[in-house]
Structure formats: structure tokens, C-alpha cells
Amino acid sequence: MPEVLQIIIFSAFSGMTVFIGGILAYYYAKISKRNKQKKELNHFVIALGGGIILAALALVLIPKGMEKLSLLPLILCFSAGTLIFFYLDKKIEKSGSKLSQLIAMLLDFIPEALALGAIFATDKQTGLLLAIFIGLQNLPESFNSYQDLIANGYRTKKALTILFLLSFMGIIGATTGYYLLRDLPKITAGIMTFASGGILYLIFQDIAPDVRLKKHWLPALGANLGFLIGIIGDKLIH
């Protein structure tokens, strides 16, 4: 099978979970009747996504950055990611947008997809692992993004259409990374480190504060489960 076709298939998987997460959120909203139970599950899903994102950060993105970059570029890329995501987060807050989950998903999805395409050309195992991580983290993020869209006044059909169209960002990003960055490992490592800084900021600024529920331990268990999924994936691939 041609390499570019493999990239399209894996990035399609990682992208389509954006739409699948929205579908799951739609059906859950239809069958859920107890508000308390719904709140607990929402917090569990946020925590699960946070755990998976943290696993991607710790097991793929940062290790690749440290492998390819010297100390100064590593510091600059990580710091740039942190500061730019901080700036965008503040802009979103000032605008009063209720689409924070959707925007956060896109902020980490796009650079990860670029890195996926670039890395697949030289390290298929890591590329496959990254595709799995991206797909798994998109699932809970899009689950919550759908709820954000509905809360912001979007109708079900329009909200699902937006998520369906965004699911193709994975293919676009991965094929772009494959053709433009596959011979530029240091730039790819820089993108991954940049994304790491931004993702870590979002975890502690937006995800972790939204997770905790008083007298409920399910969200914290969800974060651990998400990270465990990452460990299992890394062990199976390597």
C-alpha cells in the first residue's frame, strides 16, 4: 500500500472521531434524564480526554522534541506554544465565546496532524501511535464540543455538520505534513514541542479545573484511565 494512502487512512481515523464524538453526545443527550448523572459523565469524559492528551504529551510529543532539538530551540518552541495558547485563550475569554472546547480541540488537533504526516515518513510506529492518540483524544473533546455548540444556540444538524467538516482537518493536516515536513525532522520536532507547550497550558487552565466534582471520584479515575490507555498504546506499538 502506498505510504501516502496509509497516512490518509490513519489520519482519517484520527479525524473521524471528531464526528463520532458529536454523534455520541447527541444520543447521550436524548437518553439522559438525570441531570446529576449527566454532569458526572461530562466531567468523566473531560478527564478522560485530559488523561489521553497528557499521555500523548509525555509519551510522544515531548520525547520526540527532546530527541531532535538542542536545548535552546526546545525551550523556545515550548515557551512559544505556551505563550501563544495563553494569548489565544485570553482572547477567547474576552470575546465571551462559549466554544472553548471546540477551539481547544482545534488548537491541538492541527499541529498534531501536521506532525503525524511528517513523522510517518520516517517512523511509522510512532506515527501510528500518534494517530491513535489523536483519535482517542478527539473523541471526548468533540463530545464536549457538541454540547458547547448546542449551548451556544446551534441546532443539532448544524452542530454535527460542523464536527463532520472539522473531522477532515486530520487528513488535510497529515498530508500537508507528509509532503512539506517529512524531510525536515527538526521543524517537525519543533511543531510537536510547540504543541506540547500549548496543550500543557490548556490542561491546567481549562481541562483540569473543569474536571473536579465535590464528593465524586469518577472524573479523577477518568484521567488515570486516559493516561493508562496511552501507556498501553505505547507498549503495544513499541
Q: Where on the phi/psi map is residue 68: left (φ > 0), alpha (ψ -120 to 50), or beta?
A: alpha
Q: What is the mean pLDDT of the chain?
A: 79
Q: Is the pLDDT of residue 83 over 80?
A: yes
Place of cell 488537533: 109
Q: Is the pLDDT of residue 238 over 60?
A: no
Domains of the chain: total: 1
Element (H, E) at 2: none
216 strand-pairing partners = 213
Enter the pTM of the model: 0.76
Q: Which has more pLDDT, 133 or 205?
A: 133
Residue 161 pLDDT: 92
Residue 100 pLDDT: 64
Q: Output phi, psi for 213, to 5 deg.
A: -125, 135
Q: What is the mean pLDDT of residues 55-81?
A: 86
Q: What is the DSSP letter of 204?
A: I
Q: What is the mean pLDDT of residues 129-134?
A: 84
Q: Residue 107 is part of which domain span? A: 3-29+37-237
**Worst-scoring range by mean pLDDT, 41-50, 54-63, 194-203, 225-234?**
225-234
| 39, 118, 128, 141, 202 from 100: Cα distances, Å | 18, 28, 28, 10, 10
Q: What is the mean pLDDT of residues 163-171?
A: 89
**Worst-scoring range by mean pLDDT, 74-78, 112-116, 123-127?**
123-127
CB 48 within 8 A of CB 226: yes
Q: What is the mean pLDDT of residues 181-208?
A: 82
Cα(236)–Cα(91) distance, integer angstroms: 40
CB 139 within 8 A of CB 49: yes
Q: How many helices (H) and strands (E) does the chain have?
A: 11, 0
Amino acid at 40: E
Residue 60 pLDDT: 81
